[in-house]
Amino acid sequence: MQNVDVVVAGAGIWGCTVARCLAERGRRVLVLESRSAVGGNVRCESDPDTGIEVHVYGSHIFHTHLDDVWRFVRRFVEFNGYQHKVMARYRGKTYFLPLGLPLVNKFFGVELAPGELPAFMAEGTHRAQIFDAFFRGYTSKQWGRPPEEIDPTIIQRVPVRATYDVNYFNDYNQGIPLTGYNSLFDRMLDHPNIAVECNRAFDLAGHAASPLAGVPVFYSGPIDRLFGYRYGELPWRSLAFERETLDVADFQGTSVVNYTEAEVPYTRIHEFKHYHPEDADSMARAKTVIMREYPRAWKSGDEPYYPVNTPESQSLLERYRAEAAKVKGLTVGGRLGEYRYYDMDQSVGRALAAVESCGVIG
């Protein structure tokens, strides 16, 4: 691309959305991606032994109630209508999440009616038992804090469904792209006004000294890295994954099972073939791919997954935001740039809004 109107740094779902929208407004967009492929943490790969689409960085299910977001992504892919169900294993038994009538009735051995559940869960002993079984160990693993530091009143903030609905998400639009997640990103970036360069990280100082100096930048990498960590590193939690191909048609009967006990070192097991129930050949094949998910403390160089929100980290974030505000033509967004955990539809929605408010489109 000889001439560039806008640089988009980071080709995750936020960056790809921004790039596509700007390109359709007639802007010539250069997309820079530090990894070898686009898609960010939603990037998938086809398992060479089974052909199953594996979510490399953990399960991703597109779900939304935002009509403009749903219309946008469906321009590029069709979804299979998959409805996400999550199970929880505790002391050798399996329960439906989220917290609702199926879980409560099985756990306590009762048969509550919908109208009886709120009063039942308002009782302190019941809340404490649910917290100890399904939240204490899981949360301590996820966030690396000992159980005694986990506030049991968290159960009061967990939504309780007084129904037998076992869909994990309330959003009425859900699914997995029929042609896989990679096709979503490839098609979003397939535009004559978009050029993509992978294996190229964005450097703010280098940009200022380059022929592209003065070209507006949409940046979705870590905001502290953008400024050379001059005030220190923002803290994160990270993850490690252990993948295994098994000679069975079905390992656990669903896509995700949470393991809530602290003694179990992993938090979840993913089984990816369940994300494509429409693929009859894959479902019938006597092989499956599972992946155990292990929460990890984050250190520099690790993949950042979950921001650690503390007064100290928020103060540090504000210092970096103040630096970003000083840079003319810079828009910082996305999960890493904003230091917030976003679902995919939220990232798309914020990208659409960023394009509308950036002043680049005239």
Among 161, 225, 335, 350, the one annotated catalytic: 161
Active site residue 293: yes
**Dihedral-angle region of residue 316 (phi above 0 means left; psi in -120 to 50 means alpha; beta otherwise):** alpha
Q: Examine the residue annotation and report whether 161 is marked as an active-site residue of this protein.
A: yes
Q: Choosing from 145, 278, 341, 356, which is the catalytic residue?
A: 341
Does 157 qualify as catalytic in the annotation? Answer: yes
49 is catalytic: no
Angle between helices 181-188 and 13-24 in degrees, nearest 10: 30
288-306 residues labelled b (16+ CB within 10 A) or e (exposed): bbbbbbebeebeeeeebbb
Given 268, 271, 275, 339, the catalytic residue: 268
- From the candidates 237, 285, 296, 321, give the one annotated as an active-site residue: 237
Burial 234-254 (b: 16+ CB within 10 A, else e): bbbbbbebeeeeeeeeebbeb
Question: Would you put residue 259 in left (φ > 0), alpha (ψ -120 to 50) or beta?
Answer: beta
Burial class for 180, CB neighbours closer than 10 Å (0-12, 13-18, 19+): middle
Active-site option among 75, 149, 157, 247: 157
SS3 label, residue 113: coil
53, 186, 271, 293: the catalytic one is: 293
| H/E run at residue 8 | strand 6-9
Q: Is 89 designated active site?
A: no
> Residue 36 is which amino acid?
S
User: Is 35 a known active-site residue?
Assistant: no
Report CA-CA distances (Å) from 28 to 55, 212, 343.
31, 12, 28
Active site residues: 157, 161, 237, 268, 293, 341, 343
